[in-house]
Amino acid sequence: MTEEKKKKYPVIDAKTCAGCSVCVENCPINCLAIEAPKYHGDITTIVYLANPEACLGCGICAKICPIRAITIVEA
């Protein structure tokens, strides 16, 4: 039997994320994006994993996040 390698991917804590876009700007393959505010007057922006299939699980986003809102998990 061969051991399957688990995929790593980032999980963004929406309550902690400030939407600063540092992770989005530094992702080497542009897997992260910023969600636009949901309604007029809302200033809340949250980063999300826009392209999970392409994500390398490299962890750059988690390492560079200034408020540690991103963790890398295995699936």
Give pLDDT, residue 71: 97
Q: Among 33-37, 63-67, 69-73, which stretch is predicted with the lowest mean pLDDT? A: 33-37
Write the pLDDT tens digit of every residue in 41-64.
Answer: 877 788 999 999 999 999 999 999
For the record, the structure tokens of 73 come out as 């998990």
Mean pLDDT over 37-43 rounds to 80
Measured distance CA(63)–CA(44) in Å, rounded: 23
DSSP structure string for 2-71: PPPPPPEEEEE-TTT-----HHHHH-TT--EEEEPPSSTT----EEEES-TTT-----HHHHH-TT--EE
For the record, the structure tokens of 27 come out as 């992702």
pTM of the model as a whole: 0.83
The topology under which CATH files domain 8-74 is: Alpha-Beta Plaits (3.30.70)
Structural domain spans, the chain: 8-74
